[in-house]
A and B are shown apart, each in its own frame.
Chain A
C-alpha cells in the first residue's frame, strides 16, 4: 500500500534570477494512491514544489538544485520533462492560457498529437477522457465559448490518457466561481477514487478543498515544510492564521465560542463532525453576542440611482429592469456566477456602454450626457489584473497620469498625488519603478491612480483573485480604510463569499441578468433559495447554525460582527 512515488530528500532549490533559496532542505514522501494538499501562502514555495515534481524545474526554470527529488523512480535532474510528463499530468492555474487547441477535442488530443499517435487511437482516447470529465458533448466547441470550469475539465482530460499515475493541480480553484469550485473539487475526488491516481492539489483555499476528503496536508511556509499531518490535526491547531491561510469559517466560529477540540473530532468534515458536545457553548456564546441591526452604518445621502435599466447584446438580454441606489460610504458586493451580468453592470456604471432603457443618475444628473472620461472622475473602475492598468515606469507618474490626461494644473497634481500616495501608503515608494512591486502593491498603485481623480464610488473587480489570505487581508483592509476614512462607496464585484461576509454590508445578487436579491449580506447568504439560484456556495456557517438549532441569519450576523471586532482589536 505505502509505496513511495515521490520522494524529496534534503532538497533545496534556488531560481537562477534570485539570490536566496526558494526551497530549503525539503524532506517529503508521497505514497502511491495518496491524495495530498500542499497548502501555503503565495510566495511560500508551494508552486515551486509542484514545478519540481512535473519537471518544469529544471527544464524550463533554471536554478541550483541540491539534494534529490525522485518521481516514479526517476531522478528529476537526470530525466527530461517529456519522460516525467508520462508519469505526472499537470493542470495549471490559468485555464485559458493552457487551452492550446482550437477546439475541445483538439486540446484533449494535444499530448497524443505530440506522441504522433495514429488518429483512430487518438479519437478513442479523446472520447474516453472527455467522458470521464463530462465534456463528451462539447468536443467541437471552441475555447471562446467555454466557461473557466469547462476549460479546466478539458485541461484535466488532456492529461488523463497516458495513464499518468500522478495528477498535479496547481491552484485549481483560483479562477472558478464557488459552485464551479465545488464541482471541480468533486471531480478531482472522483478521479482519484475511480482511477487509482496519486493526486496532489496545490491551493491556499483550505475550506473549499476540504469539501472532499484529503489524506494529508503539507503546510509550506517560507520554503520549508511547517507541518505534515492529517486535515483533522491541522484544523485542531492554531497555526493557520499565523501562516496566512484562511481557516474554515465553521472552525473559526467554534473557536470563537471557546470550544476546544479533542483528538477524536473529525474536524475536516462538518457533516460527520459531532457538534452535540459543543452546542451549548455555541448557543451560549451566540446569546451573549447577539447583534442588532443598528450596528450597520448607512448614510441616507444617495449618490447613484439606477432606475429600471436594461441592456442587451444582440438579441440577448444581459440586464433586465435593474433598479438600485448607492449611498455615500456604502460597501456593497455584487455577486453571481460568470455571465450573470456583473461586468455588464460595471461597464454601464462607467459609461462604457449605455443602457437600452432606464436611467442612471449621479447625484441627480442623468449620466447619459457624460462621456466615459467625465464619468471616470465620479466613478472609478479598478480592473482585476493590475498589469492591464499600469502604463508608466514610476509609481508617481502612474498616479499622476489620470490627472495629466484630465488637464489638472501642476500644483493640483502635486497636491493630489501626495494625498493619494499617502492614503495608499505608497508615499515612501513614490520614486520606485512599478516593475519591482509585488502583485498586491501593484494593485495599490492602480487604486491610487484611480483615486487621484477623487471619485465618490469605486468599483473594484475581483480585488483578491489569486491572492492568499495574507495579501487578501492586506488589500481588503486597505480598501476598508479608504471607505471608512474617506467615505468612498465601494462596489466589489466578486464571487468570493468570504470577502462578501467579512468586508461588505450589502449584497446584490445577479442571476441571468436579473437582480434577484439586494439586502444585508448575512440575510442574503443565509437564504438557501438565493444561494441556489445564483450558483453560490452555502457557507459552512449556515450548516453549523442549522446543526446547533440557531437561526442562520442571526448566527452569520453575529459571526461577522465578532470577526470585525477581532480585526479592529488586532489592527
Chain B
C-alpha cells in the first residue's frame, strides 16, 4: 500500500536495475546525464532514447502514473518549443547553420527545415533526459541514493539529509492533513466552489503555522536520536542498504565507464574542433 509514495520507492524492487547497488545506479545515472547534457548529436541521442525506453519497461513501473507524468512533460516541451518559434522563427540559422524555408507566413514568421531539425533534436534530448531521470527515480530507494552519492564523494552528512528528507516527508504530509481537517471543522472553507483562490491561499498559509511548529518539535527529536546513536562520530560511514556487488554491478561497471569516457570525448572534441554550429545536421556541412 505504501510502497509507492510520491513516486518514490521505499522498498527495493526485484528487476535487474532495481537489484544494482546504489553506487552503480548513481554512477550510471551521472555518466549518462552528463553525456546527454554535453551532446547535441542526434546519432547519439536516439540510441540512448531507445535504451531508456527499454530500461523503463524493464523496471515494470506503475504505467498509469508514468503516462500521467509523461503526458504532462510532453505538453510542456511542445509548448516550450512553440514559444521559442514565436520569438525566433529562424532559430536554426544560428545553431544548425542554415535556413531552408519550407513555408513562409509573412516577412518574419516562417518554417525552416533547420529550425524544425533543431526542435526535433531538442525535443528528443529533453525527453531522453526525462526518461533517464524517471528510470533512475523509479529504480532507486532514498537509502541507496544516499549510499550512491557517498560513493561519488559527496560528504555523507549531505547524503543523509537526502534520505532523512524522504523518510519524514510522509509524516509531515500526514500532519498537514490532520491540521487541515481540524481547521476545516472550525470553519475554514477550502472548497474551491465556495471560496476564491486568494482566500484559499491565505487560509492554507494559516495551516502552515502549526505545521512548522510541529515539524520543529520533530526535528529536535530526530537530531537527538541521531546524536545518541553516534551520527557524525567518524569521517567515513558505511551503508546497510549498500549490498555487495552482484553480477549485474560487474556488468554495469564497464558500461558506465564507457559512457563516462564518451562524455569526456564529446567535451574534448567540442573544445578541440570548436564547431561553428552546435547541432549536427545531415544536410549541413560544418565549415
**Which residues from chain A sit less than 8 Å from chain B, CB to CB?**
54-56, 59-60, 81-82, 85, 90, 92, 94, 96-103, 105-106, 109-119, 122-123, 126, 140, 142-145, 158-159, 314, 347, 350, 352, 371-373, 375-376, 380-381, 383, 385, 387-391, 401-406, 449-450, 453
Contacts and interface: CB of A to CB of B under 8 A. Distances in A.
Contact of A376 (B1, B10, B143, B186): B186
B236 A56 contact: no
A56 B228 contact: yes
A459 to B, nearest CB: 10
Contacts, number: 174
B224 A92 contact: yes
A75 to B, nearest CB: 19
Interface of B: 1-3, 5, 10-11, 141-143, 163-164, 166-167, 170-171, 175, 178-179, 181-189, 191, 206-207, 209-210, 213-214, 217-218, 221-234, 236-244
A391 B206 contact: yes
Contacts of B231: 110, 114
Nearest to B232: A114
9 contacts: A97-B225, A98-B221, A98-B224, A110-B226, A113-B240, A119-B239, A373-B188, A390-B210, A405-B187
Given A102-B143, A106-B241, A116-B236, A391 B183 contact: yes
B230 A82 contact: yes
A323 to B, nearest CB: 24
Nearest to B221: A97
Contacts of A387: 210, 213-214, 217
A92 B240 contact: no
A311 to B, nearest CB: 16
A388 B178 contact: yes
Given A56-B227, A371-B191, A449-B186, A101 B167 contact: yes
A114 B230 contact: yes
A116 B228 contact: no
Contacts of A350: 181, 185
Contact of B239 (A113, A383, A406): A113
B210 A114 contact: no
Contacts of B184: 352, 372-373, 376
Contacts of A103: 10-11, 143, 241
B79 to A, nearest CB: 36
B128 to A, nearest CB: 29
A90 B230 CA distance: 12
Given A54-B228, A405-B187, A126 B240 contact: yes
Nearest to B239: A113
A354 B245 CA distance: 51
Top 7 A-B pairs ranked by shortest CB distance?
Answer: A405-B187, A97-B221, A98-B225, A109-B240, A402-B186, A376-B185, A111-B229
A342 to B, nearest CB: 15
Contacts of A96: 171
Given A389-B182, A405-B188, A449-B186, 6 more contacts: A60-B223, A60-B227, A109-B240, A119-B238, A387-B214, A403-B187
B24 to A, nearest CB: 15
A106 B143 contact: yes
B189 to A, nearest CB: 6
Contact of B167 (A102, A113, A123): A102
B222 A98 contact: yes
Contact of B11 (A82, A140, A380, A391): A140
B244 A142 contact: no
Nearest to B171: A96
A306 to B, nearest CB: 18
Contact of B233 (A115, A123, A376): A115
A123 B240 CA distance: 8
A372 B184 CA distance: 6
A119 B210 contact: no
A114 B234 contact: yes
Contacts of A381: 182, 185
Nearest to A111: B229
A388 B213 CA distance: 8
B157 to A, nearest CB: 11
A144 B232 contact: no
Contacts of B191: 371
Given A102-B166, A103-B11, A111-B229, A380 B185 contact: yes
Contact of B238 (A60, A92, A113, A383): A113
B225 A100 contact: yes
Contacts of A60: 223-224, 227
Nearest to B186: A402
Contacts of A449: 186
A383 B184 CA distance: 13
Given A144-B170, A390-B210, A450-B186, A158 B242 contact: no
Contact of A117 (B166, B183, B238): B238
Contacts of A347: 181
Contacts of B228: 54-56, 81, 85, 90, 92, 159
B233 A102 contact: no
A59 B230 contact: no
Nearest to B185: A376
Contacts of A105: 240
